[in-house]
Structure 1
């Protein structure tokens, strides 16, 4: 008889200090190859101008003081460790803190793991940065310190890794106050970074640390239940599992977000703790968004729209987030923002920057980039209903008179979706939030998991090729039993579910649902078609999940721990060690074949979509007239 494994537990605290018990799991130790931990070596070293960290990366533009594995004692008694890169002088400097559990440097995720490095050349950075974080080689030359902590549980830091929440924000706030207390600090701290590092900024800013003067969230969610754990109630846990298997901890491991999804299928205190109260944030913010990120799009636009900051700017780009973040032009733009708020350079012209710089995608043509606007969503938006016609599978401007029903089989991989098309009679821009109203029933079950997409087709009905590598598709999800609307916080164009209760479908019951489709900006030429696809969402095997065997695969060479951190490639030949190269190495808690860990979909048998007559199924699209 196999002994049943006991779930380890940890304690978090909500906004009022109330304890929340959370499940914990192991992750890989720092000795595992795939996590690429370079070793523990407290001390201070001068990194010389012209030296390099790794072959192929840019040489350092200036001398940098490097403080490694510096301890920070948190108020809960745990000690964490941070790296600090700062200018080689005795002056006081502002700092930029990059916050994630990925590792103070390199770590289990790195651009070399990704095909063509996602378009970021090695020599665009010095390689001193943590994954998705600010490059010290760039920032130190302009008088900034970069602080890269290993958060609780990460590598050698004590405690367990948090999947966000109020305690996570408090940890960041304590780090910021520690930075302000350092002798080299001018007591002005900013935060920067992409993805997890952007998410961190929302949670920390909501804590109002005294010395946090500016944030720059570069694409990141702020509602862990509705933007990563589930989308519209539909479990989307594959990415969470893959991400967790890149972490390393020699202490208490990580909060087990997959187990928590099973324990907490509905919105409750656990998930409420992981929602940022955006309206409480008043920190100056430089926000960057895109339309094509599965995890980040919705939350980034919501962050821009809902924070209370009087000083906030939005820039929407048209490529993938990593090349956008490490493009020098964008680094220079961000530096202008930080110079204003962290250095007090109030005459540098930053306040003349347009509040919104918008990109609009145009597959098959030329994208609009950095169009100046005053707000988002755009005030001149003309919301237009395109009604579903089940008879010809078209979308049309006029309501459909005759009631019709269209069915598909959710169990048939080749036939578990239906599409509707609308052909544009003239060039049209659709930019903003999108909603799909559907009338549905489950003919053979009591629930439905739906995934809907909106995309662009050429006049012949084919997709335009993707230029940036990110497919230009707007997405929406809903578990029909969790359809209850949050009336107080919903709008006609941005419906929100409460996710607080499950209302199973009765046999033969037909219900209306309002599905939020994430913001999109798209140009449709005359004759181009909008395609709406409605499909039964199926949770696949972890073995087939995207990126499942990618992270940790690249082998990187760095100087051995007993050598200098950087070296002159022309004159020095230090002993090198190889990090990485084993992407299949996973913890015993996280093997991809442990499918019972994963939530299941609820689809079974036939789904029916009703349109016409009393069934006003329609797609609400934000049509943008040209500027006056």
Structure 2
């Protein structure tokens, strides 16, 4: 450690701006939180672009206030002085014999260089940091990775490089497929990437210095110490959203930022959120299924993006996992089921249940056919007339009969449609809904929005090409490697992936499938303090005119129901 920057504070030995030299000579900087007593301890590490010195309470005040209001336990037993977005609170880990290391990634916070999120260079930096931590005098040689979102996504990346000192990792709400889960949903450009980069990443780019925020702990600029000109800052960053606009197909831009899961062999716990529609839950599940690790576990929960990580439930789960792998302690982890589900009920009620696999082996894959005449979902298909809808309107909803008994839906969902357009392309937005006996939609606290539907899916019709090797009846896999334009008026067959979900639906409720030509919108009023409108999809909008020009995507779509055009919704019904 750099002893000139080391202090004893709040029961920890804290070293600020510890230098870590990369293989190309550039130096990254880390904050190291260690026990006061000298010794060798397991390491918990994060590396990312959010600035290690920026307080959770300042950079993400809306999220912090909601988190501690809903779960006061988060702020208890700690000074909260070192709270940092999406990373562990060291005051809750160092007393248990861990060293917590936070690294500012290249070009972010206190680390100089070119800011290029999820790039191969950044992943190599993470490898170098892990190997550095593994041989420090305060390290026992076992390095664990932990964190939410960005700090989870890049775990998949670096684990594929198999750094020798990487011992275990906890992937909390972390996407695994840059194109399908982060950049383009079903081939449709997601606005989230742009808002994320402009609103969060550029605000802590290295070189903002005196023009950026100041650390409440050190009193120094979190994105310094140097202050660069706007021109210099622009030269030192790669804008992933503007690059994504220029790359509508899945090419090297996305593959370079997507981990090869077949090379991930590290033991891990993957924790996903049922309400994370638009970003992470698909990656947590696909990562669990696709990784080569022989020791791997999946946990699925609900509520907000942060609560599952910071609450007593989340911290206890993490400590059982890391205690087993990093400390060799008897935590009972050997009894952990391969799949742990917090089964969702209306009213934000969750019931814990262990399972042995995903999808659940006892799933009854049930087709609900779309019928045109009465706009219903039924067990039988009846040919009927075509149904048209303007793509700028509210779309078409198909409803089941009231459920005769309580019904659990847990797993991946898919829909098959036969659709034509009056132009050469069409974007399909599919929304899985549940309505109470009075016809009111039942929504749920999502990871990024307080009123989300039960499930969402997207597909650009010109991206309908499937990979037959990877497609499954309940999880179609689109190649996104070529454009197949529509012939106006001629229907095509579309297989739409609706992301995995979970809900126990009370009797008397109805299941709905909404098909429309634009994003779901529940019409909710603006929420004070929120970074973006909270109308059911959070920040995951798809309305960039460069990607969705009105002359192509602003016309009329038609759903077809003739013989041989059996449209259906495939649901994973779990026997009671």
Q: Shorter-chain TM-score: what band?
A: 0.7 to 0.9
8 Å CA contact retained: 1:495, 1:515: yes
Paired position in structure 1 for 2:536: none
Give the superposed CA RMSD. 2.6
8 Å CA contact retained: 2:262, 2:290: yes
Q: Once superposed, which parts of structure 1, at least 4 consecutive aligned residues long, lie more than 4 Å away?
A: 544-552, 595-598
8 Å CA contact retained: 1:71, 1:79: yes
User: Structure 1 residues 498, 596: CA separation in 2 closer, same or farther (over 3 Å shift)?
Assistant: closer
Task: Report 1:219-298 matches (<5 A).
Answer: 219-247=173-201, 248-249=204-205, 250=207, 253-293=236-276, 294-298=278-282
From 19, 39, 47, the equivalent of 2:8 is 47
User: Structure 1 residues 85, 489: CA separation in 2 closer, same or farther (over 3 Å shift)?
Assistant: same
Supply the distance in 2 between the matched residues of 1:343 and 1:616 (Cα, whole angstroms): 56
Note if 1:361 corresponds to 2:361. no
Task: Report 1:340-489 matches (<5 A).
Answer: 340-345=324-329, 347-364=330-347, 367-400=349-382, 402-411=383-392, 415-423=393-401, 424-443=403-422, 445-464=423-442, 466=444, 469=450, 471-489=452-470
From 37, 40, 47, the equivalent of 1:89 is 37
User: Structure 1 residues 539, 460: CA separation in 2 closer, same or farther (over 3 Å shift)?
Assistant: closer
Note if 1:73 corresponds to 2:56. no
What do residues 343-390 of structure 1 show as CA deviations (whole Å, max 9, x unaligned)? 122x332111122111222215x7342211111110011111111001
Paired position in structure 2 for 1:105: 53
Paired position in structure 2 for 1:509: 490
Q: Mind listing any 5+ residue stretches in structure 2 that lack a counterpart?
A: 208-232, 533-542
8 Å CA contact retained: 1:354, 1:374: yes
Note if 1:185 corresponds to 2:151. no
Q: Which has the bigger relative contact order, CA under 8 A and spacing at least 6?
A: 1
Supply the distance in 2 between the matched residues of 1:515 and 1:545 (Cα, whole angstroms): 30
SS of 1:321's equivalent in the other structure is coil
User: Structure 1 residues 42, 479: CA separation in 2 closer, same or farther (over 3 Å shift)?
Assistant: farther
User: Structure 1 residues 244, 181: CA separation in 2 closer, same or farther (over 3 Å shift)?
Assistant: farther
Supply the distance in 2 between the matched residues of 1:343 and 1:625 (Cα, whole angstroms): 40
From 521, 524, 529, the equivalent of 2:502 is 521
Supply the distance in 2 between the matched residues of 1:390 and 1:501 (Cα, whole angstroms): 32
| Displacement after TM superposition at 1:536 (Å) | 0.7
What do residues 416-465 of structure 1 show as CA deviations (whole Å, max 9, x unaligned)? 4110111222221111000010000002x111112111021112211236
Task: Report 1:541-552 matches (<5 A).
Answer: 550=530
| Displacement after TM superposition at 1:254 (Å) | 2.8
Judging by fraction of residues, say which structure has more helix.
2
Supply the distance in 2 between the matched residues of 1:451 and 1:597 (Cα, whole angstroms): 16
| Displacement after TM superposition at 1:242 (Å) | 3.4
Paired position in structure 2 for 1:138: 92
Count of residue pairs the alignment pairs up: 521
Supply the distance in 2 between the matched residues of 1:479 and 1:527 (Cα, whole angstroms): 34
User: Structure 1 residues 610, 429: CA separation in 2 closer, same or farther (over 3 Å shift)?
Assistant: same
Paired position in structure 2 for 1:201: 155
8 Å CA contact retained: 2:173, 2:271: yes
Q: Mind listing any 5+ residue stretches in structure 1 that lack a counterpart?
A: 1-40, 50-62, 553-594
| Displacement after TM superposition at 1:120 (Å) | 4.6
Paired position in structure 2 for 1:578: none
What do residues 392-413 of structure 1 show as CA deviations (whole Å, max 9, x unaligned)? 110011122x2321111113xx
Supply the distance in 2 between the matched residues of 1:168 and 1:70 (Cα, whole angstroms): 18
From 101, 105, 109, the equivalent of 1:151 is 105
Supply the distance in 2 between the matched residues of 1:308 and 1:112 (Cα, whole angstroms): 39
- Provide TM-score, normalisation by structure 1: 0.78
